Structure 1
Amino acid sequence: MIIAQYIFSFAARTPAAPAMVHNDRTISYRAFAGAIARASAELALHLSPPPGTVAIRIHNLADCWVATLALQARGYTTICVGSLDVLAALEVRNLRAIVVSAAEENLQAAEDLPPVYAMGRPVFDDTQDFEVPALA
């Protein structure tokens, strides 16, 4: 079972229970699962289908977790990096895309790196409905 499956399961059983605390804000399992589901749907529209590796360069930890779990739920392998220079030095095989936060900055990949997609900032909201994505 992948981590996202556990989060969706906890969201169904105990939606108001705290999933994490980030910057003194408690985020419930329902809000966390909803953010993952919405990010998964967004990323599916913009990235080539799995399998493959997607690099994530998002400095906000909660947002990075959402991107990581959304991509893993879709069947990608993920790697989190601090900079594109570090990523280029790693020589990752089968690298399909680089996901960054639209809220942080606009990055352009180097010629030898795959395309960069700027993911929208996750919304942690207990009231929004969401559909659990088909998990890989």
Structure 2
Amino acid sequence: QGDIFNMKFDINFDLVWNIGLIEHYSEEEIEKIVRNMYNAVNDDGVMIIGIPNRRSIAVLKAALLGSVFGKFFLFWAPGYRNDSEILYGEKKIKKIIKKVTNKEAEIGYAGSFLWVGCFRSLIKFFDKKFKKSKFSFLTLFSVIK
């Protein structure tokens, strides 16, 4: 047993991934996390890291609701509120991954760009009409070892 800072395994894996984790940590801690994840990947295996996309409506709404302004003036509004999240940009995370792995991360996107709690019919409509884009909910970084 261990945690993300102390991963000890007898074997390595073809896929090591996390989503919704590193945005709660400092850049120095993220380097440790990436190093531990990358060390747990087999040769030709894949490491994937997902973070909230700070361009998506859902993430922008959560940031607003979690802000001092939002807590004071929008206390009545439903929805997730950012608390300990740091909204890192793609360049920052790519730079950390490159520093630790010496490899360029590929970037992809997943999820709707709409907010949590949005009408399901709207989400279905937009998901059919629009491909995943840099406005989707998650930004995914992948590296092949």
Determine if the TM-score, normalized by the shorter chain, exceeds 0.5.
Answer: no
The TM-score, its normalising length taken from structure 1, stands at 0.29
Higher Rg: 2
The TM-score, its normalising length taken from structure 2, stands at 0.27
